[in-house]
Amino acid sequence: MIVNNNLYPVNLPSQVVQSSQQAYLKTEDDAAKIASQTERDSSAAFTKTLDWGAELNRQYVYSMLRLSDDIGTMADRIGVMADRILYTELQIGVMADRIITFSQMQSDNMDTTQQWLTDSTIKVLNTYKVNQNI
């Protein structure tokens, strides 16, 4: 890592650091060579940065697509559960209707049974009364 005027650290590839350490400003020709090498190193670093960015972008898109797929799967499962809840609700409604019908039948049967018992009791009492009078 090279520190630039103590303002912020600069991370350079090891090739750039090595080429900078090997360079000596002896002549104008050497200065031109260093400038050319620096340009190539800068271009290589920029290309590497673009490659990293493209890879990160690919990973980001892949992660987003996986997340989207997972959300779709969860939505499908929620839909299945909602269908089950609606079916259960329907079955509860059917059972409630059956309970109401059964209760009405019991109530009707109770009225019929009470009437039958009352009529039978009256007949037995009338028969007993008739037998007492004889």
Q: Kindly indicate the confidence band of residue 14, based on its pLDDT and cuts at 50, 70 and 90.
A: low
Give the pLDDT band of residue 80 (cuts 50, 70, 90): very high
- Tokens 């020709």 — which residue? 29
Average pLDDT of the residues of the chain: 76
3-state DSSP assignment of residue 5:
coil
| pTM (predicted TM-score) | 0.41
Mean pLDDT for the stretch of residues 93-107: 91
**3-state secondary structure (DSSP) of residue 2:** strand
Task: Report DSSP state, residue 47.
Answer: H
**Could you tell me if 33 and 25 are in contact, meaning their C-beta atoms sit under 8 angstroms apart?**
no
User: First and final CA of the chain: distance in angstroms?
Assistant: 132
The proportion of the chain whose per-residue pLDDT surpasses 90, expressed as a percent, equals: 26
**Banded model confidence at residue 54, pLDDT cuts 50, 70, 90:** low
Q: Residue 100 — very low, low, confident or very high, per pLDDT cuts 50/70/90? A: very high
**pLDDT recorded at residue 89:** 93
The 3-state secondary structure of 8-30, one letter per residue = EEECCCHHHHHHHHHCCCCCHHH
